[in-house]
């Protein structure tokens, strides 16, 4: 198992704490054009090329545990049906009947042996094959074999279900790269889903996401909440090819966080003693520790609105006699985001309000905010720079030399 390298990270944490300037050789980051957060045409490019071609976290096996169980998933701009097939696989089907386009399934979730369209009754299998057509005698030459539901790439990582709309996309594991190896110790195949909630946020999806991609704001915005579990001066950001990133920051005082809960025994030292969180391109933030795995996702609606979706996963809590699973993100059973999340959401909405007033000086990012720059840099690569107006582009200044497994800070730390 390629574990998270604790020795190397301790060295890097000391380096980060002791440095008095940006590390030697780290590139200068040009300001980001604020139009990227408000421009309609750019939002369309994002939808087509980024959300249309990336692996997106779409569901959890607990939501569709048995063959025939289905769940609708419309968050990424297409009506999708996730369905557990007879052979134990999950298929992701377009919820659009091949006849005249009615939704094949209108319920949010359920269990069916056959999917029967509510408009004229065409029936499909869980694999999307067209099985039966009502009044078939009225059609001439209907080739049922060619009229199945459109299906999308769908893969699992443990209990997590990912979908990719691009039929040419590389496998999920290849796209996650080192991340899936580092996550092995968190046993995602054993983590149960405790909660999944959605909140409308009046901000561009990237503004809301970026609040989870740097710890620069933690001592100010979160002084009364997460600041106590993140030593931001010692934070180590790591960049991974594919636009992913990781933060590791020691906890100043040992966390009592969820400590009455069952632990994931295989979690190593970093997961136990540090705040560890990954950003997975494009829209997933994945914090991990030995008690709870609480991902957050950011789904664009319009250029100035998004959905923040929060998840809480944990090892089985009923084995501790607890009836109710953990909830990392909401208050009163999903009625509203909890305080930590509200602190970020309120700030994101306030930023969005004034975004149209931003000027051509752009948004200056620091070394601490490199994961944000790297996200934008990779977005442009995925969209294709030739499609983006020059003034909106983010120059690819972060090279492979600053992308894992390369780690120039190790040489600087031992100098
Ligand atoms: S639209 Fe589905 S059967 Fe007609
Ligand atoms: Fe925050």
pLDDT tens-digit series, residues 315-354? 998 887 888 899 999 999 999 999 999 999 999 999 999 9
Q: Is the CB of 102 under 6 A from ligand 1?
A: yes
Which token pair is 208?
A: 């809301």
Q: Is residue 165 part of a domain?
A: no
Q: DSSP E strands: which ranges in 134-262?
A: 151-157, 160-164, 192-201, 236-240, 244-250
| 363 secondary structure, DSSP code | B
Closest by alpha carbon to 296, among 197, 228, 193?
197
- Mean pLDDT across the chain: 95
pLDDT tens-digit series, residues 39-95? 999 999 999 999 999 999 999 999 999 999 999 999 999 999 999 999 999 999 999
Mutate to test the pocket of ligand 1, among 81, 106, 114, 122 (most ligand atoms within 8 A of CB): 122
* Residues 118, 103 contacting (CB under 8 angstroms): yes
With vertex at residue 276, the alpha carbon angle to CA 347 and CA 274, rounded to the nearest 5 degrees, is: 110
The verdict on 104 and 243 lying in the same domain is no
Residue 226 dihedral angles phi and psi, to the nearest 5°: -70, -15
Distance 161 CA to ligand 1 centre (A): 28
* Residue of minimum CA distance from atom 1 in ligand 1: 100
10 Å Cβ neighbour count for 210?
26
With a cut of 80, say whether residue 193 has pLDDT above it: yes
The verdict on 43 and 84 lying in the same domain is no
- The ligand 1 atom nearest the CA atom of 100: 1
Q: Is the CB of 100 under 6 A from ligand 1?
A: yes
Residue span of the structural domain in which 114 resides? 64-157
Q: Is the CB of 397 under 6 A from ligand 1?
A: no
Mutate to test the pocket of ligand 1, among 96, 116, 120 (most ligand atoms within 8 A of CB): 120
- Read off the pTM: 0.96
- Residue 390's DSSP bridge partners are none
With a cut of 90, say whether residue 374 has pLDDT above it: yes
* Residues 326, 196 contacting (CB under 8 angstroms): no
* Residue of minimum CA distance from atom 4 in ligand 1: 120
Instruction: Categorize the per-residue pLDDT at 216 as very low, low, confident or very high, splitting at 50, 70 and 90.
Output: very high
Q: Is the CB of 246 under 6 A from ligand 1?
A: no
CA 380 to chain CA centroid, nearest Å: 18
* Residue of minimum CA distance from atom 3 in ligand 1: 120
Q: DSSP E strands: which ranges in 13-52?
A: none
Task: Give the torsion through C-alpha atoms of 19, 22, 26, 32, to 10 deg.
Answer: 150
Q: Is residue 1 part of a domain?
A: no
Which token pair is 237?
A: 């950001």
Ligand nearest to the CA of 225: 2
Q: Is residue 101 part of a domain?
A: yes
Distance 231 CA to ligand 2 centre (A): 14
Q: Is residue 162 part of a domain?
A: no
Distance 277 CA to ligand 2 centre (A): 12
- The ligand 1 atom nearest the CA atom of 97: 2
Instruction: Categorize the per-residue pLDDT at 1 as very low, low, confident or very high, splitting at 50, 70 and 90.
Output: very low
Domain limit, last residue, from 157, 186, 201: 157
The verdict on 95 and 141 lying in the same domain is yes
Q: Is the CB of 139 under 6 A from ligand 1?
A: no
The verdict on 68 and 50 lying in the same domain is no
Q: Is the CB of 99 under 6 A from ligand 1?
A: yes
The verdict on 306 and 213 lying in the same domain is yes
- Domain CATH for 110: 2.102.10.10
Instruction: Please tell me the distance from the alpha carbon of residue 117 to that of residue 66, in angstroms, as a whole number.
Output: 21
The verdict on 254 and 194 lying in the same domain is yes
Please give the pLDDT value at position 253: 73
Please give the pLDDT value at position 261: 78
pLDDT tens-digit series, residues 233-281? 999 999 999 999 999 999 987 666 555 678 999 999 999 999 999 999 9
Which token pair is 95?
A: 């919820």
pLDDT tens-digit series, residues 290-314? 999 999 999 999 999 999 999 999 9
Ligand nearest to the CA of 209: 2
Across the range 364-378, mean pLDDT stands at: 98
Instruction: Please tell me the distance from the alpha carbon of residue 283 to that of residue 209, in angstroms, as a whole number.
Output: 7
Q: How far apart are the first and last CA of the chain?
A: 30
Q: In total, how many domains does the chain have?
A: 2
With vertex at residue 366, the alpha carbon angle to CA 362 and CA 372, rounded to the nearest 5 degrees, is: 75
Instruction: Please tell me the distance from the alpha carbon of residue 99 to that of residue 103, in angstroms, as a whole number.
Output: 10
Q: Is residue 163 part of a domain?
A: no
pLDDT tens-digit series, residues 119-171? 999 999 999 999 999 999 999 989 999 999 999 999 999 999 999 999 999 99
Instruction: Categorize the per-residue pLDDT at 177 as very low, low, confident or very high, splitting at 50, 70 and 90.
Output: very high
Instruction: Please tell me the distance from the alpha carbon of residue 127 to that of residue 86, in angstroms, as a whole number.
Output: 9
The verdict on 106 and 254 lying in the same domain is no
Mutate to test the pocket of ligand 1, among 93, 97, 132 (most ligand atoms within 8 A of CB): 97
Ligand nearest to the CA of 142: 1
């Amino acid at each position: 198992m390629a574990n998270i390298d604790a020795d190397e990270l301790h060295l890097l944490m000391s380096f980060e704490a002791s440095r008095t300037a940006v590390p030697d050789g780290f590139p200068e980051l040009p300001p980001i054009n604020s139009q990227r957060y408000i421009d309609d045409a750019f939002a369309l490019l994002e939808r087509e090329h980024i959300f249309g071609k990336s692996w997106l976290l779409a569901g959890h096996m607990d939501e569709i545990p048995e063959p025939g169980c289905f769940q609708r998933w419309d968050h990424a701009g297409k009506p999708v049906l996730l369905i557990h097939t007879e052979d134990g696989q999950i298929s992701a089907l377009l919820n659009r009947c091949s006849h005249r386009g009615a939704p094949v399934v209108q319920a949010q979730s359920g269990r069916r042996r056959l999917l029967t369209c509510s408009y004229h009754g065409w029936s499909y299998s869980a694999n999307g094959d067209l099985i039966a057509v009502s009044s078939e005698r009225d059609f001439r030459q209907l080739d049922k074999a060619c009229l199945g539901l459109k299906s999308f790439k769908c893969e699992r990582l443990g209990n997590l279900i990912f979908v990719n709309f691009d039929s040419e996309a590389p496998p999920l594991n290849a796209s996650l790269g080192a991340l899936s190896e580092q996550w092995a110790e968190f046993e995602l195949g054993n983590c149960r889903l405790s909660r999944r909630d959605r909140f409308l946020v009046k901000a561009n999806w990237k503004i809301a996401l970026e609040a989870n991609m740097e710890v620069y704001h933690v001592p100010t915005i979160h002084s009364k909440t997460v600041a106590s579990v993140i030593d931001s001066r010692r934070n180590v950001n790591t960049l991974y090819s594919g636009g992913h990133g990781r933060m590791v920051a020691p906890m100043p005082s040992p966390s009592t966080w969820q400590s009455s809960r069952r632990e994931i025994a295989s979690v190593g030292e970093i997961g136990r003693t540090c705040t560890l969180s990954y950003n997975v391109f494009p829209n997933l933030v994945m914090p991990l520790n030995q008690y709870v795995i609480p991902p957050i996702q950011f789904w664009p609606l319009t250029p100035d609105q998004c959905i923040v979706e929060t998840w809480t996963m944990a090892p089985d809590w009923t084995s501790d006699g607890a009836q109710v699973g953990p909830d990392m993100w909401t208050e009163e059973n999903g009625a509203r985001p909890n305080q930590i999340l509200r602190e970020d959401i309120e700030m994101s909405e306030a930023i969005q309000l004034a975004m149209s007033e931003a000027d051509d000086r752009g948004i200056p990012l620091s070394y601490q905010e490199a994961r944000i720059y790297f996200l934008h840099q990779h977005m442009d690569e995925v969209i294709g720079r030739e499609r983006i107006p020059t003034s909106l582009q983010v120059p690819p200044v972060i090279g492979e030399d600053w992308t894992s497994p390369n780690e120039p800070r190790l040489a600087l730390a031992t100098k």
